[in-house]
């Protein structure tokens, strides 16, 4: 039976009016978030719920819906294009079929009417939903519908800055959206931004300035101007709240003065309100690097205490930290700060290079070395969200999805099996929308004859999955929700194994990982090199699940792969749980009679012998 929780239509104008009593059902948290598969989407770019009015993109005929107006398509990418929360709800079958257990929804909060901040990070009213995405009721309906299916919802929040809601007064006495950074004194105020983008002295409508009313207090903002230096000097403490990138504006997005406890309390109350209203299950906190560890801890503690009080005992808090050297300082195993960091600094490039055969696999797997504290925490799998692609691609030299600039014949398999690595190593995997349809968004789509400067290049990794005027692959008028796509089918097949409730599924979610030595052409056993077969195991107690992946994009590869000789005696067999060679029907309904014998060498080493096509992958385990 579907749940329908009615909530109030009108947003409160001030925090003192915000009711923190939960509306309707309070859905319980999962036991552990490492059991989940996250799926990140931008509300504006995912679905408008009208795909039945458009044809499905044919990956075998990619030219069919190619754009005719490059300039128009590029311009669309910088604007709201029409995705909605109702559209997201309409695709829960599609997402659950992929194996997704948790939605990660980019900010749905109310943006400025006069600006095209489609990404959601320029909030004008912290207590309302942007009408271009839908209504407050639409958000609650989405969360209820997900919960009815046993799925969870994480919302993307911002507590570092507000939108471009007011002006500075420049040196000539004119209003300006930005000023050059200075530590002190605060710049003079140049007026609130009206709903038409003009400077006004007083807020007279809900479209003017910032809301709720508490955020109309100028002392809530540092007023230090735009960040100019995003790094730190050698003499600075990288964790200090007083470095430039923690006090300055994020471009024209106005920085909150989190040194003031009342500002942190107000922001915590904002998001406590959204937990009460939406029944969401966690937050992804934006721009955590720009918040000090102490301020982040204070905010997280207030959120977590509220969640405990209403019965959400494992409310998830993860955050964006784009500097790997400081990221561990925000993780607190005692539960006083973030639960997990987003793996967006080193991991995306290590995973990409490994899957494409561009680096030795140990460069990825060394993060799990047991002799270091860092490796121990990584093995636990609770403290990192594994990200390959996302909406920022901040770790890449240019904005580009995994599939960009690739001409390997088995590209669809390569993409699926890169995600397959995410799904079969310790950590909380996150799939970026469109990956399962082999989206190849990248800034090479930018035509400098149309726009002469590099600007808003992240638009090209934020394609509209429902089509419209900014479709993927430079298309328009077609959608991409194809559950029969070769990449979708393979990710779904691997995710199905990970989501199993038996020992095989538990080993994939909660086991320890071991990169396996291999041997080919009678060479000595050694750890695999780039472009060769790569084997790794996930072991939980007496269950071993073996993954094998051909990292060569053009040639078959074969090898003997080491496995645990105690768990697999001479004469035993491993059964194929997944084989990328299977046809579509076998991917949906795996055969259970395909096995490979276990051999024991004279020195006691246990191995299996396997050969895979370019970019091929297999998953095997004992089913006896």
Share of the chain above pLDDT 70, in %: 99
User: C-alpha dihedral over 311, 287, 324, 105, to 10 degrees?
Assistant: 50
Whether residues 286 and 417 share a domain: the answer is yes
Beta strands in 280-394 (DSSP E): 282-285, 316-319, 340-343, 384-387
Contact 356, 369 (CB under 8 A): no
Angle at CA 474, nearest 5°, toward 468 and 480?
55
Whether residues 568 and 461 share a domain: the answer is no
| 3-state per-residue secondary structure call for 424-460 | CCCCEEEEECCHHHCCCCEHHHCCCCCCCCCCCHHHH
Rounded Cα gap, residues 530 and 532, in angstroms: 6
CATH code where residue 96 lies: 3.20.20.80
Q: With a cut of 80, say whether residue 605 has pLDDT above it.
A: yes
Whether residues 274 and 402 share a domain: the answer is yes
Is 168 inside a domain boundary? no
Q: With a cut of 90, say whether residue 624 has pLDDT above it.
A: no
Q: With a cut of 70, say whether residue 440 has pLDDT above it.
A: yes
Confidence at residue 44, expressed as pLDDT on a 0 to 100 scale: 98
Is 4 inside a domain boundary? no
Q: With a cut of 70, say whether residue 83 has pLDDT above it.
A: yes
Q: Residue 369's pLDDT band (boundaries 50, 70, 90)?
A: confident
Q: Residue 333's pLDDT band (boundaries 50, 70, 90)?
A: confident
Confidence at residue 85, expressed as pLDDT on a 0 to 100 scale: 98
Average pLDDT over residues 320-344: 89
Average pLDDT over residues 325-335: 84
Whether residues 519 and 486 share a domain: the answer is no
pLDDT tens for residues 158-186? 999 999 999 999 999 999 999 999 999 99
Whether residues 452 and 527 share a domain: the answer is no
Angle at CA 35, nearest 5°, toward 31 and 41?
110
Give the domain-ending residue among 459, 493, 527.
493
pLDDT tens for residues 280-300? 999 999 999 999 999 999 999
Is 21 inside a domain boundary? no
Whether residues 542 and 606 share a domain: the answer is yes
Structural domain range at position 590 = 512-621
Is 365 inside a domain boundary? yes
Domains contained in the chain, number: 2
List b or e across 4-25, with b for residues whose CB sees 16 or more CB atoms inside 10 angstroms: ebebeeebbbebeebeeebeee
Q: Is 363 left (phi over 0), alpha (psi -120 to 50) or beta?
A: alpha
Whether residues 428 and 326 share a domain: the answer is yes
Give the domain-ending residue among 439, 463, 493.
493
Whether residues 472 and 361 share a domain: the answer is yes
User: How high does pLDDT run on average in the chain?
Assistant: 96
Whether residues 483 and 538 share a domain: the answer is no
SS3 category, 274: helix
pLDDT tens for residues 466-488? 988 999 999 999 999 999 999 99
Rounded Cα gap, residues 33 and 51, in angstroms: 32
Phi, psi of 104, rounded to the nearest 5 degrees: -110, 105
Of residues 54 and 332, more confidence is placed in: 54
pLDDT tens for residues 101-117? 999 999 999 999 999 99
Q: Residue 371's pLDDT band (boundaries 50, 70, 90)?
A: low
Is 447 inside a domain boundary? yes
Number of residues written out for the chain: 624
Whether residues 348 and 468 share a domain: the answer is yes
Give the domain-ending residue among 493, 521, 554.
493
Confidence at residue 232, expressed as pLDDT on a 0 to 100 scale: 86
Is 502 inside a domain boundary? no
Q: With a cut of 90, say whether residue 375 has pLDDT above it.
A: no
Whether residues 456 and 526 share a domain: the answer is no
Is 500 inside a domain boundary? no
Confidence at residue 560, expressed as pLDDT on a 0 to 100 scale: 98
Contacts of 35 (CB under 8 A, 6+ apart): 101, 509, 510
Average pLDDT over residues 204-229: 98
CATH code where residue 575 lies: 2.60.40.1180
**How far, in Å, are 35, 354, 557 from residue 614 at the CA level?**
30, 14, 7
What is the token pair recorded at 562?
């080491």
Whether residues 273 and 157 share a domain: the answer is yes
Contacts of 320 (CB under 8 A, 6+ apart): 284, 285, 286, 287, 288, 289, 342, 344
Confidence at residue 183, expressed as pLDDT on a 0 to 100 scale: 96
pLDDT tens for residues 35-60? 999 999 999 999 999 999 999 999 99
Is 211 inside a domain boundary? no
């Amino acid at each position: 039976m579907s749940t329908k929780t009615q909530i109030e239509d009108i947003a409160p104008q001030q925090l003192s009016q915000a009711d923190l009593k939960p509306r309707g059902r309070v859905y319980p948290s999962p036991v552990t978030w490492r059991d989940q598969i996250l799926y990140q989407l931008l509300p504006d770019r995912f679905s408008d719920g009208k795909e039945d009015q458009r044809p499905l993109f044919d990956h075998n005929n990619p030219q069919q819906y190619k754009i005719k107006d490059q300039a128009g398509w590029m311009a669309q990418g910088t604007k709201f294009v029409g995705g909605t929360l109702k559209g997201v709800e309409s695709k829960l079958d599609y997402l659950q079929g992929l194996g997704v257990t948790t939605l990660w929804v980019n900010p749905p909060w109310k943006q400025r009417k006069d600006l095209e901040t489609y990404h959601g990070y320029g909030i004008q009213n912290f207590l309302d939903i942007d009408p271009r995405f839908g209504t407050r009721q639409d958000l609650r309906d989405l969360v209820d519908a997900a919960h009815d299916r046993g799925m969870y919802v994480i919302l993307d929040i911002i507590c570092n800055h507000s939108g471009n809601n007011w002006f500075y007064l420049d040196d000539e006495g004119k209003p300006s959206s930005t000023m050059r950074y200075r530590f002190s004194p605060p710049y003079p105020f140049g007026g609130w931004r009206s709903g038409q983008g003009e400077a006004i002295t007083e807020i007279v409508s809900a479209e003017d300035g910032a809301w709720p009313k508490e955020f109309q207090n100028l002392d809530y903002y540092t007023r230090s101007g735009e960040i100019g230096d995003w790094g730190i000097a050698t003499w600075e403490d990288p964790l200090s709240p007083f470095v430039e990138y923690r006090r300055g504006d994020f471009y024209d997005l106005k920085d909150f003065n989190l040194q003031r406890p009342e500002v942190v309390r107000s922001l915590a109350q904002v998001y406590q309100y959204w937990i009460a209203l939406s029944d969401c299950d966690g937050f992804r906190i934006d721009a955590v690097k720009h918040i000090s560890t102490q301020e982040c801890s204070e905010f997280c503690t207030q959120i977590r205490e509220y969640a405990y009080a209403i019965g959400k005992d494992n409310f998830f808090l993860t955050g964006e930290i784009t500097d790997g050297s400081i990221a561990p300082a925000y993780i607190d195993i005692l539960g006083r700060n973030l639960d997990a960091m987003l793996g967006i600094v080193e991991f995306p490039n290590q995973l990409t290079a490994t899957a494409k055969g561009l680096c030795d696999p140990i460069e990825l797997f060394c993060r799990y070395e047991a002799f270091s504290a860092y490796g121990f925490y990584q093995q636990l799998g609770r403290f990192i969200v594994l990200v390959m692609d996302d909406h920022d691609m901040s770790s890449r030299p240019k904005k580009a999805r995994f599939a960009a600039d690739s001409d390997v014949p088995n590209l669809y398999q390569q993409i699926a099996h890169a995600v397959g690595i995410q799904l079969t190593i310790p950590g909380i995997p996150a799939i970026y929308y469109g990956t399962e349809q082999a989206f190849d968004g990248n800034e090479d789509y930018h035509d400098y004859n149309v726009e002469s400067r590099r600007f808003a290049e992240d638009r090209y990794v934020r394609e509209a999955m429902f089509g419209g005027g900014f479709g993927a692959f430079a298309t328009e008028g077609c959608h991409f929700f194809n559950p029969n796509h070769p990449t979708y089918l393979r990710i779904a097949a691997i995710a199905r194994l990970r989501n199993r409730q038996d020992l095989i599924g538990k080993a994939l979610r909660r086991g320890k990982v071991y990169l396996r030595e291999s041997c080919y052409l009678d060479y000595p056993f050694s750890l695999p090199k780039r472009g060769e077969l790569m084997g790794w195991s996930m072991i939980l107690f007496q269950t071993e699940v073996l993954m094998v992946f051909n990292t060569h994009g053009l040639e078959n590869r074969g090898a003997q792969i080491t496995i645990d000789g105690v768990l697999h005696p001479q004469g035993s067999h491993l059964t194929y749980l997944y084989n990328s060679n299977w046809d579509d029907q076998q991917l949906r309904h795996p055969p259970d009679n395909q096995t490979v014998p276990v051999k024991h060498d004279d020195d006691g080493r246990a191995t299996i012998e396997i050969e895979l096509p370019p970019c091929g992958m297999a998953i095997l385990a004992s089913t006896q």
